Structure 1
Amino acid sequence: MRGKFILTTILGLAVSAAMAEGIDASADNAKVASNQAERKKAPDRSQSVENVLLEEHVLFDRAWSVELGYSYAHFDRSELILRGFLALDAIFLGELSVDEIEGDIITNTLTARWTATPRLQLDLQVPYLYRVTRYRSRGQDLSSLTTSETDIEVSDLGDASIGFSYRLLPENLNRPDIVWNSRVTAPTGEEPYGIDIIEVDASNSNLNVPMELPTGTGLWSASTGVSLVKTSDPAILFASLNYTHYFAEDFADIGSTPDLLMPGKIQLGDTYQLSLGVAFAVNERLSYSFSYAQQFFEKAKINDTKQVTTDAMTGTFNLGVTYGLTENLAMVTSLGLGLTSDTSDFTFGMKFPYRF
């Protein structure tokens, strides 16, 4: 009887332990399932959305990527110039001219990116520009019938730059993905200072145009900022804030009068840029996005003196569509519509990022 009692006790303890273990296993399984469900609250990013974020933010999931970009910008300006005075508050006496400027800028940019660590990415950008500008003026000798025009064009290297991006904080349920960006731009393009303004039509002295067009700023610059991305199923929200500072530089000639040197120091005004946008994935390969970008330009300085009318504010509304051509190659298109008088009328861009 005593042996049976001991055996019964041992069996009871074994059954109790098995039941307890089963309860713990069920609790662990429930906990794992809960964690998986919590992780799945953030939808997986499709290839199409990642291609958008590669342009607006930074992705650290590939060691190397190369991108070939193309953009076309068009602008036109018209200006009525009066040289004289009003008699009796109604009759204008003097010279009248109407000046028009139309410009087209085609930029081809090669970008290489290297993800050094899961948090650090380096990139190099080299642009090549083709610019053509048409100058038109009419109104010589008080006549609005006399019209003259000429085209100036140039193709050359633009200002190359090198930058880095560092992930400060990864995205979770309560905060966005935060990346710090910095960039240094070198004046590898043709500078816009010291370009002579000449008269090209002897019959119309109103038409005066530059001998050549610039392809760069002529100054070193440094920029820094942050970009943020937050997943909110089914959308992905992104924003960025950037600041650019231009360093002063002395030039042997900053004037526009032929055969006359005018040395001086130039410093362009600091620039602030804010952009906001949202992207949606239609399917695995196709997505579209909307964004708005606004820039503020402070006054430029010549010989440490601020120049009036050199500050500006631009606003651009952007529409974008991306399509994954292959697993590694995508096509990113964008259309920017200028909303202020200082902005290009429109800008169309195509980029082809290839991620290794």
Structure 2
Amino acid sequence: MTLYNRMLIGFTTPFLFVSTSPLLAKETTQPVGQQPTETAPQFNVQSMAEYGGVLTPRGRLILEPEFQYSHESINRMTFEGVSVLSTLLIGVFTAQDVDRDNYTASLTGRLGVTDRLELEMKVPYVYRDENQRVNVPIENSPDGVFKLDRELSGDSLGDIELAAHYQLNRGQNGMPFFIGNLRYKTTTGKGPFDIDRNSEGNPLELSTGTGFHSIEPSITMLLPSAPAVYFANLGYVFHLEDNVKQSLSGENNDGSPLNVVVGDVDPGDAVRLSFGMAYSINPRSSFTLGYKNDFIGKTKTEYVNVDNGSTTPVESQTLNVGSLLLGWNYSINPDVSINLGLELGITEDAPDTTLTLRMPFGMDVF
């Protein structure tokens, strides 16, 4: 169902990229012939956007333009029939080939309200494109094969996100930093039940949002160990249930009109886990290596028959979205840097590749 695909895309497009300030490898100079003295390294772990990070200083505003491209390719061969031998199959083969491309341009603003509290707002614009090709052998087709070639697209404002990050401790005496995060995703984008459909109920465009409100509390841990910073994040996403009230048109098996309404829809909640390391190469450059995994529960949908009032519950499959994270950061000056992230899907439900380019720049506002 469309909602099933949307939930998959909704959880995999946000790229969890971590960058650390190259000042972790700050160089010091000593007079010639004098033995260098040991001093504690000056850690400057700048804002880790998706994790909360060591936060933006009080009165500092960070504006972060971002462009993200994601590609997913699905190739399935389905067989329905009887296997007589390992090389002899009697039945019907169905071949499906789907290519999905997602382009997202967004602007994120982060403001340091105090030295421990940071507020964030993200406004995305989404364009999606999908090509689907299905080959099903049938007897009534002239060439014996029914072919479906369909191309869909959609673009509009995505789901705006609001977040707050609070640093719980000062990370002194070798202790890690702990940051509490709370993120809320709106429904400003077009959800799966907001898009246009034809008389048969098939979509004429693609959704650009999940269509459901969500709240995500999480906890972040950062452990500086020059010239590296180890990070971990654990969160839970609550998707709020909603009554869609969308009518479905069509026919029953006996040819009578189908009079069914989509009722309550409860998108599956998700457990989000990520960890990794950011390593400083020199005073300007650093790279990140990490892993993230989203365990997404079943989406429960109720279909109501208007004629007799009966309700039919339907559940989707659970999703396991795991990806390897690679990131590079280059600091142009203390106020501007460039971040490039690459996400490689390693589970069946994850997109093949996700490329993210960010260029945060900061300014003092009070």
User: Which residue type is aligned with residue 249 of structure 1?
Assistant: D
Does residue 165 (structure 1) correspond to residue 165 (structure 2)? The answer is yes
Does residue 249 (structure 1) correspond to residue 242 (structure 2)? The answer is yes
User: 1:277: Cα distance to partner?
Assistant: 1.1
CA contact (8 A) 2:247 2:259 kept: no
User: Which residue type is aligned with residue 244 of structure 2?
Assistant: F
Give the aligned partner of residue 111 of structure 2: 114
* Superposed counterparts of 1:198-347, under 5 Å: 210-253=203-246, 255=248, 257=250, 262-303=261-302, 307-347=314-354
1:34-86 Cα distance to aligned partner (Å, 9 max, x none):
xxx89x43x2236xx636x3554242326211111111110011223445x43
Give the aligned partner of residue 3 of structure 2: none
CA contact (8 A) 1:166 1:179 kept: yes
CA 1:276 to 1:308, structure 2 compared with 1: closer, same or farther past 3 Å? same
User: Which residue type is aligned with residue 340 of structure 1?
Assistant: T
CA contact (8 A) 2:189 2:209 kept: yes
Q: In structure 1, how many angstroms separate the alpha carbons of the residues matched to 2:328 and 2:243?
A: 43
Q: In structure 1, how many angstroms separate the alpha carbons of the residues matched to 2:217 and 2:119?
A: 14
User: Which residue type is aligned with residue 252 of structure 1?
Assistant: K
CA contact (8 A) 2:55 2:117 kept: no
Q: In structure 2, how many angstroms separate the alpha carbons of the residues matched to 1:45 and 1:198?
A: 58
Q: CA RMSD in A?
A: 2.9
User: Which residue type is aligned with residue 348 of structure 2?
Assistant: S
User: 1:233: Cα distance to partner?
Assistant: 1.9
Q: Secondary structure of the equivalent of 1:219?
A: coil
User: 1:198: Cα distance to partner?
Assistant: 6.1
1:288-308 Cα distance to aligned partner (Å, 9 max, x none):
110100111111111398744
Q: Structure 2 unaligned segments of length 5 or more: list them.
A: 1-36, 252-257, 303-310
Q: In structure 2, how many angstroms separate the alpha carbons of the residues matched to 1:167 and 1:323?
A: 25
User: Which residue type is aligned with residue 135 of structure 1?
Assistant: Q
Q: In structure 1, how many angstroms separate the alpha carbons of the residues matched to 2:106 and 2:185?
A: 14
User: 1:96: Cα distance to partner?
Assistant: 3.3
CA contact (8 A) 1:178 1:226 kept: yes
Q: In structure 2, how many angstroms separate the alpha carbons of the residues matched to 1:58 and 1:265?
A: 40
Percent pairwise identity: 26
Q: 1:59 aligned to 47, 50, 55, which one?
A: 55
1:193-230 Cα distance to aligned partner (Å, 9 max, x none):
37677699xxxxxxx96321111111111110111111
Q: In structure 2, how many angstroms separate the alpha carbons of the residues matched to 1:50 and 1:256?
A: 53
User: 1:257: Cα distance to partner?
Assistant: 4.9
Give the aligned partner of residue 29 of structure 1: none
Q: In structure 2, how many angstroms separate the alpha carbons of the residues matched to 1:73 and 1:331?
A: 19
Q: Secondary structure of the equivalent of 1:139?
A: strand
Q: In structure 2, how many angstroms separate the alpha carbons of the residues matched to 1:234 and 1:316?
A: 25
For CA contacts below 8 A with separation 6 or more, give which structure has more relative contact order: 2
Q: Secondary structure of the equivalent of 1:213?
A: coil
1:252-275 Cα distance to aligned partner (Å, 9 max, x none):
216475996623111111111111
Q: In structure 1, how many angstroms separate the alpha carbons of the residues matched to 2:189 and 2:216?
A: 18
Q: In structure 2, how many angstroms separate the alpha carbons of the residues matched to 1:60 and 1:270?
A: 30
Q: Secondary structure of the equivalent of 2:333?
A: coil
Structure with the larger helix share: 1
CA contact (8 A) 2:63 2:110 kept: yes
Q: Structure 1 unaligned segments of length 5 or more: list them.
A: 1-36, 201-207
Q: In structure 2, how many angstroms separate the alpha carbons of the residues matched to 1:75 and 1:282?
A: 32
1:313-353 Cα distance to aligned partner (Å, 9 max, x none):
11110110001123211110010010100000011100111
Moved over 3 A (4+): 53-56, 85-91, 142-148, 194-200, 254-261, 303-309
CA contact (8 A) 1:195 1:254 kept: no
TM-score (norm 2): 0.76
Q: In structure 2, how many angstroms separate the alpha carbons of the residues matched to 1:155 and 1:70?
A: 15
